[in-house]
Structure 1
Amino acid sequence: MALPSKIETWQMIAPGKMERVAIDVPELKPFIRTMPMSRIKEAYETARRGGLTQRIVLIPDF
């Protein structure tokens, strides 16, 4: 069992699942922030500084 994390890898969720959840369950949308994988450095730095207010899900874009 994985430890709780604010950063998820794409392999931790089924492809396409997060977009469907964000659309189908609007009350979850405020808690989810998707970012393209090309911005992984920005996501990591934000998490490291403790500046996250939403769970970041990285989406492959290459």
Structure 2
Amino acid sequence: MLFLDDEYTLELPVGNVQFLPKEYALLHFLYQHRGRCFTREELLDRIWQMEEPVGS
């Protein structure tokens, strides 16, 4: 498995899968921290850190 950051693509033996930027960022983050659990707030802080908060 290979993450292609500039294309938001995951290269797999069966083919490539392209993601939207936030989908890619979330998948890559979770892969890098596999085995850990995160709260919604932690994910929002890590992946959506530069955006304005939205309602609950």
TM-score relative to the length of structure 1: 0.30
Q: Which fold has the larger relative contact order, with Cα–Cα distance below 8 Å and residues 6 or more apart in sequence?
A: 1
Higher helix share: 1
Q: Which is higher, the Rg of structure 1 or of structure 2? A: 2
TM-score relative to the length of structure 2: 0.31
